[in-house]
Structure 1
Amino acid sequence: MTEHPLSRRNVSAAALIHRRVPEGTGIVHLGLGNFHRAHQAVYTALAMEREPGPWGILGVASRSSAVADAMTAQDLLYSVVEISPGGSRVRVPGSHTGTLVAEHDPESVVHAIADPATKIVTITVTEHGYTVSPETGSLDLDSDAVRRDLAEASTPRTTIGQIARALALRASTHGTPITILSCDNLLANGRQTERLVREFVGTFRAPLRDEVLTWMDASVAFPNSMVDRIVPSSSDRYNETALTHLGVRDTIAVPAEPFTMWVMEEKFAAGRPAWEHGGALFTDDVEPYELMKVRLLNGTHSLIAYLGALDGCATIPESVARPFVEDAARRILCDEYLPTVTVPEAVDTDDYIRQLFSRWSNTALGHRTSQVGSDGSVKLAQRIPIPALEHLGRGDVPQFLALTVAAYLACIAPLPGFDPGPHARSMTDPARPRLAGMADNAASTTEFVRSVFVDGGLFPSVLAAHTEFVSRIADFVDIIVRHGPAVAAGEASAPVPDSGALTLQSRATI
């Protein structure tokens, strides 16, 4: 039988969420990855199906043209394969109206954002895509990419540069209002994005600088938002599932768990799709949802990934099935993250925690530890420092937060002679070369960990002053190297040793 490619002509109406071609392009999305295609694009399709409008999405890929090219070949369609142990469901959003690749055509990205028809810019470029200095939380003016964007106005390559240059063009031409909506795991992501854009604009010469900043005050909104859905990497098996359900070939099917959540501030400068029809929640205070997600879900997820990878687990379900990993996950979630979070009144904490462990145990989804553990140098900067400082300020050393950092370092920058295993080696991280050099050159584990906090560019330097926290991380690194992650997790559960007392493994010379 001939396999026909996915297109509007041959996909069933039952599978296509939004059956009509969008009326226009009102959204530019930066970051055409799996998460966007399984999350915002689905909500937008559901919104347009109930309330039609000019809310089609121009999807902008950062560097690779593979997804953009495949979408073009498939009438800008793809399928979302929702996977659970009970079975699969396949749906086709149909919310995109075009694609661009920023690396190939940065000028067109600027003009697309500046187009008066564009009312919203949504962003999923991961924490790493915001070019933030981990030390100051401000725009990283020492970054080569940021410096280039500041020098070359017409072809910005960074996300913040693209937005800032487009807003300047908008302000100097038609001045139509616009909303910039970050959908990444940054605390107060709207306010952070606004601050970074303003810092970039602040480098412009007067009078342009003042004109753009004044226009932004009145015409640009930066709502905070929280997004939540587990979306693994694509593979041929999901394409085969799509083929079985749809009867046509999709080369870029996106896997996702059935659970999905989106919470936003109701603060839009030029209107929005009726995302509530997809289940989105609008509130005046997103922060409790953000903290709940970034710490309880994401922070715990990181520990599960690093411990599991070090124990030879390829997937998150395999990892959390290890009793020592599940125990460590529950301890860090309940004892160390939860006390630093005010859970929203609408959320039942016990139900939420049960739901998290059910999601992490979704064996049909098979979320890989290497994917969750990647880019930890940026992710952990959002998840570790503030909770750690809260505990340390009360005189407590947060054992499992320390274990998270130690397991991360063991995966990304293993001490000489230690093999963290294939899943840890598969993790990608922009800080890996720098941290590996520190590990190779340090005279002891303690010196290595201290150098990470002082010179590593991962965490604010104020944490380095808490020597008991740094020492405990070094203890755990040594235990992982000599005895494995299960013993290290057991040590984290044990009573905290007295100052100066020997742990299971005395501080070793590398």
Structure 2
Amino acid sequence: MTSADALPRLARHALPALGAHLLSPQWREPRIGIVHLGIGNFHRAHQALYTEEAMLAAGGDWGICGVTLQGDLGKRDTLMAQQGLYSVVERGPHGANVTVVRALREVLAMPHDHAALFARLADPLVRIVSLTVTEKGYCRDPKTGEVALDDAAVAHDLAHRLAPRTVPGILVAALRERRDSAGNAGTAHGKPFTVLSCDNLAHNGAALRQVVCSFARQLDPSLADWIAAEVAFPSTMVDRIVPATTGAERATAAAALGYRDAAPVPCEPFRQWVIEDRFPGGRPAWDAVGAQLVGDVTPFELAKLRMLNGTHSTLAYLSMLGGFGTIDAAIADPAMRNLIHAMMTHEIAPTLIVPASFDLLAYRDALLERYANPALKHRCAQIAMDGSQKIPPRLLGTIAARIEAGQPFTRLALAVAAWMMFLRGHADDGTRYEISDPLGDRLTALAASARGEPQALLAALLSVREVFPAHLAAQPRFTTALHDALHLLHENGARGATAASQ
């Protein structure tokens, strides 16, 4: 037994003794006004923290019911054993700051808590349903933007509309109940909740709206029309580096609090949240605590998607090949830092149109500083997951903009080529790693069929239409740049290719 195991469990009765680790000792337990689908580390270090601060600043019943969609009873039971409390361990170059968060009031696990979830979604006090479920959680056909009808889980939900498992299925079932509740006592009286996507997906609100409406149309066209007319789907841009929890966070939290926290969340000091201000049913005072409420999120989300997410993926795939385990270790390599600096300066920033107040070069420098944070240890393997979902918005959109402008994109091509080489399942020194991707079996089979030959690898992977649209896969400038980058990686390895591509 470790010293932390011997400590009492974190719980609400301990709050009076934890004043130094609370945002404020003043606290009124709020009723639940937000249901959040996808209660992972990112939400708990980002939106939940903003929401607690907003309630402290301006009041309101915006307590959070968090929902795990993967049947994760362990997460539910761990957090509920702590009465929803957990700590955020903010790690910067000068040490760690530990804050206990109180905004999470309930945790449910689907499908086990189906009845409890739908009772909560029908509660008129719930005015926002937010989500962080990653791109694959949207069950979205990448070609059309509609719900993916060939998805087995979607097919299940269409056949069992009262027992949905997917995000679109759950939202449509709950919104149907809201619509049909008009005039019933104790219900939301036909008023919908606002659906707030907080995922790294371009135009995430509009994308989610299209998926939900297309799913609803399969069941009831009138319901789809009602959702399209009555339900707000504001877009957002979220930013904070939040790695996976390790034993180090548990030890840090225990040492600071004197209580055992089984669910701490590590994160960097930086955070940003830009929100389209469209909330017919009201919202927390997020703007009072640093969030930016705007009329159009697009310039901010595109800058983040291309500058941060694009270079994050670049670092991840080159690092998996070259043997760097974490982002800070990768960016400490001078050749890697120079590559990322040049990519942002010369290839990404020129594709962006941002408000005059947004200094892209200052943003570049802040990103490089964040990547170099030695305390965070953000694992490259974590960022490398789900590449088939991430490559198109993070890198291919920027490449398309460069092609349209008649400008070179050698560094961006190297990033895509590194992902292709990554799919072989081994680093340049032969070290093997797992491929975690919704298309993993298919992609790794295609990569294996190429037998290490760059041209064969290029031809095989360019055929995957979920990643590479036909018009781009047939674009000579694109295929030539990828061909050259793959040969550079094949002949020199990731480290040599990085040094040669600055």
TM over 0.5: yes
Question: Which residue number in structure 1 is paired with residue 48 of structure 2?
Answer: 41
Task: Determine if contact 2:454/2:487 at 8 Å carries over to the other structure.
Answer: yes
Structure 1 pair 55–400 and aligned structure 2 pair: CA distance change class (3 A): same
Task: Determine if contact 2:326/2:380 at 8 Å carries over to the other structure.
Answer: yes
Following the alignment from structure 2 to structure 1, what is the Cα–Cα distance between the partners of residues 172 and 242? 29
Question: Which residue number in structure 1 is paired with residue 249 of structure 2?
Answer: 238
Give the partner amino acid of 2:487. Answer: D
How far the C-alpha of 1:220 sits from its partner, in A, is 1.3
> Unaligned stretches of 5+ in structure 1?
494-510
- Aligned counterpart for 2:177 among listed residues 169, 175, 178: 169
SS in 1 for 2:12: coil
Task: Determine if contact 2:213/2:228 at 8 Å carries over to the other structure.
Answer: no
Question: Which residue number in structure 2 is paired with residue 6 of structure 1?
Answer: 10
Give the partner amino acid of 1:322. Answer: D
Q: Is residue 286 from structure 1 mapped to residue 311 from structure 2 by the alignment?
A: no
Q: Aligned pair count?
A: 486
SS in 1 for 2:437: coil
Question: Which residue number in structure 2 is paired with residue 136 of structure 1?
Answer: 144
How far the C-alpha of 1:491 sits from its partner, in A, is 4.3
- Aligned counterpart for 1:199 among listed residues 210, 214, 218: 214
Question: Which residue number in structure 1 is paired with residue 100 of structure 2?
Answer: 92
How far the C-alpha of 1:103 sits from its partner, in A, is 3.7
Structure 1 pair 48–411 and aligned structure 2 pair: CA distance change class (3 A): same
Task: Determine if contact 1:119/1:270 at 8 Å carries over to the other structure.
Answer: yes
> Unaligned stretches of 5+ in structure 2?
182-188
Task: Determine if contact 1:15/1:90 at 8 Å carries over to the other structure.
Answer: yes
How far the C-alpha of 1:193 sits from its partner, in A, is 0.8
SS in 1 for 2:312: helix
Following the alignment from structure 2 to structure 1, what is the Cα–Cα distance between the partners of residues 429 and 23? 42
How far the C-alpha of 1:75 sits from its partner, in A, is 1.6
Q: Is residue 29 from structure 1 mapped to residue 33 from structure 2 by the alignment?
A: no
Structure 1 pair 373–433 and aligned structure 2 pair: CA distance change class (3 A): same
1:244-280 Cα offsets, whole Å, 9 max, x none, are 1111111111001011111101100200111123211
Q: Is residue 80 from structure 1 mapped to residue 88 from structure 2 by the alignment?
A: yes
Task: Determine if contact 1:62/1:101 at 8 Å carries over to the other structure.
Answer: yes
The farther-off stretch of 45-54 and 229-238 is 45-54
> Percent identity among equivalent residues?
38
Following the alignment from structure 1 to structure 2, what is the Cα–Cα distance between the partners of residues 226 and 424? 35
Task: Determine if contact 1:412/1:425 at 8 Å carries over to the other structure.
Answer: no
Give the partner amino acid of 2:157. Answer: D
Structure 1 pair 99–76 and aligned structure 2 pair: CA distance change class (3 A): same
Task: Determine if contact 2:323/2:427 at 8 Å carries over to the other structure.
Answer: no
Following the alignment from structure 1 to structure 2, what is the Cα–Cα distance between the partners of residues 222 and 168? 16
Give the partner amino acid of 1:94. Answer: R
Following the alignment from structure 2 to structure 1, what is the Cα–Cα distance between the partners of residues 334 and 324? 13
The farther-off stretch of 191-200 and 141-150 is 141-150
Task: Determine if contact 1:106/1:157 at 8 Å carries over to the other structure.
Answer: no
Following the alignment from structure 2 to structure 1, what is the Cα–Cα distance between the partners of residues 141 and 430? 30
Following the alignment from structure 1 to structure 2, what is the Cα–Cα distance between the partners of residues 480 and 320? 19
- Aligned counterpart for 2:57 among listed residues 50, 63, 69: 50
How far the C-alpha of 1:323 sits from its partner, in A, is 1.6
Structure 1 pair 458–420 and aligned structure 2 pair: CA distance change class (3 A): farther
Question: Which residue number in structure 1 is paired with residue 185 of structure 2?
Answer: none
Following the alignment from structure 2 to structure 1, what is the Cα–Cα distance between the partners of residues 389 and 432? 17
How far the C-alpha of 1:470 sits from its partner, in A, is 2.2
1:316-336 Cα offsets, whole Å, 9 max, x none, are 000011122112211221222
1:212-361 to 2 correspondence within 5 Å? 212-361=223-372
Task: Determine if contact 2:403/2:477 at 8 Å carries over to the other structure.
Answer: no
The farther-off stretch of 169-178 and 357-366 is 169-178
1:465-507 Cα offsets, whole Å, 9 max, x none, are 11332243233233323321122234444xxxxxxxxxxxxxx
Q: CA RMSD in A?
A: 2.0
Q: Is residue 411 from structure 1 mapped to residue 422 from structure 2 by the alignment?
A: yes
1:382-421 Cα offsets, whole Å, 9 max, x none, are 112222112222344421221111111211235xxx6456
Give the partner amino acid of 1:59. Answer: G
1:56-89 Cα offsets, whole Å, 9 max, x none, are 1000012122222111111210000010111111
1:397-454 Cα offsets, whole Å, 9 max, x none, are 421221111111211235xxx6456887145222221111112224753233233222
